[in-house]
Amino acid sequence: MYAEHYAQVIQYVWGYVGARSYLLQGDLQTVAQNIPRLRLDGPGIYSLWLKSSFHENKYVPTYVGFTSRPIQTRLGEHARFGKIGELYSGLPDGAATTGGFGVLALELPTPMARAMESVFLETFDFAQNTADNLLSRALRPWTVDADLSEDAPMPESAGDIEAFNDILTAISDQLDALQQLQGKLMELKG
Task: With CA atoms as reference, report the closest residue to 91 among 83, 99, 102.
Answer: 83
What's the confidence (pLDDT) of residue 40?
96
Q: How far apart are CA 89 and CA 86, in angstroms?
A: 5
- Rounded to an integer, what distance in angstroms lies between the CA atom of residue 175 and that of residue 171? 6
| Number of domains comprising the chain | 1
Question: What is the residue range of 141's domain?
Answer: 3-189
Residue 58 in 3-state DSSP? strand
User: What radius of gyration, in Å, describes the C-alpha atoms of the chain?
Assistant: 16
Tell me what pLDDT residue 163 has.
84
Measured CA distances, 141 to 3, 93, 95, 144, 145 (Å): 11, 12, 11, 10, 11
Q: φ, ψ for residue 23 (rounded to 5)?
A: -110, 125
- For the entire predicted model, the pTM comes to 0.86
pLDDT per residue over 75-116, tens digit each?
Answer: 999 999 899 988 888 878 777 666 788 999 999 999 889 988
Look at residue 14 in the predicted model and tell me its pLDDT.
94
H/E stretch holding 187 reads helix 158-189
CA 149/CA 173 separation, integer angstroms: 30
Q: What is the pLDDT of residue 2?
A: 93
Q: Is the peptide bond before 92 cis (omega within 30 degrees of 0)?
A: yes
Q: Is the separation of the CB atoms in 48 and 102 below 8 Å?
A: yes
End-to-end CA distance of the chain: 44
Strand order in the sheet with 20-25: 20-25, 100-107, 44-51, 58-67, 146-147
- Residues of the chain under the 70 pLDDT cut: 96-98, 132-133
pLDDT of residue 168: 84
- In 77-169, the DSSP E strands lie at 100-107, 146-147
